[in-house]
Structures are given as C-alpha cells and as structure tokens.
A and B are shown apart, each in its own frame.
Chain A
Amino acid sequence: MSTTAYAPPGRLPGGVPAIRRRRVLVLLTLVAALAVAALLSLTLGTKPVPLGDTWHALTGPTGTENDLIIRSLRVPRTALGVLAGIALGVAGALMQGHTRNPLADPGLLGVTQGAAFFMVIGIVAFGVTDLYAYIWFGLAGALVASVGVFALGMAGGRGGPTPVTLALAGTAVSAFLYALTSAVVLLDQQAMDVFRFWQVGAIAGRGTAIVWQVLPFVAAGLLLALINAPGLNALSLGEDVARALGRHITLTRVVGVAAVTLLTGAAVAACGAIAFVGLIVPHLVRPLSGPDQRWLLPYAGLLGAALLLFADVIGRLVAPPGELEVGVVLALIGAPFFVALVRRRKPVRL
C-alpha cells in the first residue's frame, strides 16, 4: 500500500522512547522503595538490630542472638511480606481490570471467603492443628470458590462470563461462605481462635517453610498475570474490540481468574485476610503507569510489597513491647486513605 500521499511516516511525536524511559525510571524507583522497605523490615522491630549485625546475620551467621532474630524471624517475615504484597497488588490490579470496577478487590471472586471456610472445615472436620496444613486447606478453598464463582458467572452471561455476572456471583458466593464459616466457628472454640487471628491478617510468626510452601503458587500466578497483561489491554477496549483484535474472550478471562486465584489464594492462606492492599495499590500506581496493564501490573506488585512491609514495620513500632498485626495497620491507614482518594478526584473509568 502506498503512503506517498500523506506525511511520510516517521517517529511518533513525543516519542515512544521517552515514554519508555520514564516508565523504566518509575520501575526502578519502585524497586528501590521495596529494597528500603525490606531493609527496614529486617532491622527494625521490638528489638532493633544494627545494620552491621544484619549484614553479618545474612552473610556469615555465627549463632549470635541477633543472627537468630534475623534468620529465623525477620527474614521469613520479610520474605512472606514481599510475596503477599506482590501477590495482592497484582491480583488487585487484575481484578479491577477484568471487572472494570475501580472498587474491586482481590477477594471479589470469593477467594478469601473460600480459603477461610476450608480452613475452619479443616480444623473442625479433620482436626488439623498445624499452620502448614491449614494453608493447604486455604489454597484448596480459594481454588474451589473461584471455580464455583466462574461457573456461576458463566451460566449467567451469554456466551461467557461478563464482569457483571462475575462480580454478582462472587459477592453471592462470598456472603454464603461467610455465613457458613460464621456458623461453624460459633460452634467450635478452637476453630474460632484460629479464625480470629487469621481474619486479621499477619505476616509474623510464619516460618521459612511457609514461605517455600506458597512461593510456587505466587510464581505461577505472576507468570499467568504476565501472560494475561496484553489480553487485558485488549479487553479494556470492550469485548467486541478485543474479539476483533483476535482475542479469545473466555480464555483471557480464565487466565486472569486463574492468576487472581493463585495469587490471592496463596496470600490469604498464608497471611490471612489482609485488606486494602489489593484495593488501594492499583489506584496509587495508575497515574504513573497509565492504563497499560503491562506496566500497571509490575508497578502494583512492587508497590504492594513495599506498602505491606512499611505497614508491618509501623505495626512493630507503635505499641511496644507488643505489636499490631499488619492487617490492622493497613486497615487503619488504608480506610482514611481510600476515602481521601475517592474524594480527591472522581473514580477512574476503567
């Protein structure tokens, strides 16, 4: 085809390279923020550990008290915080993208309530007492709830699930599972105790084994999220345009829901129902990334992890000699913050 009749095609004005450079710069800044948060999380707490001792514990431990604190408590806690923060941030961004709902959070598909219900069932019906074993029940519950919601959403929509049928099915299933969970824990003291702590959300007191247990799920979820990003970009132009651009709508939705399920399931099973990260973080990074999911998702993961670690560090410092759970801190910061966000400008159209 001929282009001689028009202005010769050259580089785009403004320049793709300039935009790309800015995006890489933001990415590096977020990586740096996460590194700072991780460093604070390793060194600060009820017993502060000097930087030199922290380095000593990480590189060549000799069994000092500080070595023990860093290696058996702070490292797994920080690693779990990073994993859960990345998972919740990315899952929140995916969820808001797929549902076109700026108020969607990763629990919208019933994943959180599914995990909770299966955990209490594990305790009551199977006599599970070990944290490591609860988590398997939590992961299974997340998966079952999400498959159920997807099937319901599919039955409701014509030729595939729509954002609306998914959100409705997710809300209904969540409410149903929450009622069941409440009924069970009312009747069982032990389940009640576990559930209470789980419901708050914490990254403290989980050993290294738990980090390794959820790592594969988070990794798989992130891979699916990465694969899903271009498809989600197409879907954000509406289903007809996405189809016209050669996308399988249902396949794209399935990959997205699978990613959300793995990420959220792993995070909530290991750390409990940590609220607000998945809801707020996408709003914070959207002005930096624009509506391009290929940048929005990594930004949201990095900021989610940094935010979660900062909140955890704050929780360790505000109430000595005790600690506030990270879930409580996030809710205390997150709720007013979110109100401010909504008031400052009109909610974005996704």
Chain B
Amino acid sequence: MIAINKVSKHYGAFQVLTDCTTHVNKGEVVVVCGPSGSGKSTLIKCVNGLEPFQSGEITVNGVSVGDPKTDLPKLRSHVGMVFQNFELFPHMSIVENLTVAQIKVLGRDKPEADEKGIQLLDRVGLKVQALKYPGQLSGGQQQRVAIARALAMDPICMLFDEPTSALDPEMINEVLDVMTELAQEGMTMMCVTHEMGFAKRVASRVVFMDHGHIVEDDLKDAFFANPRSERAQQFLAKILHH
C-alpha cells in the first residue's frame, strides 16, 4: 500500500532524513517511534506529499508521490491524515468540518455528505456535538472529530502524526480507543506515536527512527522483546519506565 524507498531530505545543509526505506502493507498497522527530532513526523508528511523530499521514491497504492505529474490533491483525498494539533477548521461547525471536503473534493451532494458525516460522528461518540464549533470541544473530542473527518473521505489508508501528544493525559485513551477499533477493522495505518501500549496492542510492525535514519524495522514482538540497537533499547527504557 505504502512503499518508501531510499528517501532523503535536507533543509540546506541540515539532513533531516537519510535513505529511509520501509513499507506498509494493506491491512497492516505500522507504528513509527523515536526521540523528538528524529525525523519521524517529517517522514510521515512525505507520504502524502506535504513535505517535499530530494531523493528516493514513495508510492501510495502504486502512485508515485514525488512525481511532479501526480495529482496530489486527488492522492491526498484518499489518504486520511490526523495531526498533532487536530487542525479542525475553527470557523466551521463540527458537521461542516466533516462535509466540506466530501462536497468540494469528492463532489458528493450535501444530503449524502451530511448523512455520512453524522454516521461517523455517531461512531466516534460525538453525534450530539454536530452543530457546535471546534473551539467549544475538548482536545480529545476535537481529535476524535478529526479522525472522523479523515474517515469521511473513505480513505484507503490513514496517517497519524502524534495524534495524542497535544492531549491532556485523561483524554488520551478516548482517542486511542477509536484508533484501536479502526486497526481491528483492518484499516491500513501508519502512526507516529509514543504510545507503546497502543503499539503493543495493535501494531504489526514497529519502525524506530533516530537522527533521520530508520534504525530498526521489526515485527512488533521482536522489537519489544529484543530491540537490536542500543539506541532503541535506551529509548524504550526511558519511555516505558515513567
């Protein structure tokens, strides 16, 4: 589904990604982790072309992301993405947030988009909030809306960029529950996250990054039982013992 092949990226002299190679098969959940500044957020933004990269190739469902001829808006319309800071559109009501792209990008008519939107809000447990505005919801609720917004486009895969890092601790689980449910339904997912509990529960593989390199790319059990690199061991020790 997602194939990342020898991708490198630099800002001027600063190397952000070096020769990154990994993949996400259909139905797989791949968790990307690593210390801050390791390039994991940049990597996931390269997947739908939000960040350009200088060399290597990324294909999503066989379409090359870096190819200038690729219709990026079309590609992005079926790759869902969830952001650290939710990024709901503050001037639109919750239901409008879910329908605007269905109508303007996919060309659905309004009743159809509304129905789909309400159905997905119901699924994330927020149907009653449909007419409120993002600023009136808690962080956890906003992030669940953001997931519903991405799902409304009927994505073939989902990208999560640290979806719980901006949340207060008591709200993390409500978001992880929605993500877990999605994973169990067989959604193809690539998640940048520090939530190792989530990774243990649903990940197929874990990718560990450091200083722009992919240091480990392993099956979940192998990664947690016996990380090969010292840096991954240190990282796990820090993150699991607090």
Q: Do A and B come from one complex?
A: no
Give me the interface of A with B, judged by CB distance under 8 Å.
Answer: none
